[in-house]
Structure 1
Amino acid sequence: MADIGDKAQAIAIGPRIVASGGFDLLYREGMTLIEEVASYLDGHGRADSRILPRDASFLYATESMRLTTRLMQLASWLLLQRAVNEGEITPENARSEKEKVKFSATPSERGGPGYEHLPEVLREFIVKGDRLFDKVMQFDTLERGTMTIGDTGTANGVVDQLARLKAAFGRAD
Structure 2
Amino acid sequence: MVVLLCGCVQEPSAPSIPTSLCWGAFNGDAVAPLVPTGRSFSQTNDIPFDVFEQRSNTYCSLFVDDRDFLLVQVERGIGGKGTDWNVYARRHGSPVQAGDEGLVYDGGAGAVFLCERPDLPTGPTRPLSEKYVELELTADRAADTPRNREALTDLLKRFAQFAKQHLKCRN
- Pick the TM interval, shorter chain: under 0.3
Normalized per residue, which structure has more strand?
Answer: 2
Comparing both chains, which one has the higher relative contact order based on Cα–Cα distances under 8 Å and sequence gaps of 6 or more?
1
Structure ranking higher in helix proportion: 1
TM-score by length of 1: 0.25
Q: TM-score, normalised by structure 2?
A: 0.25
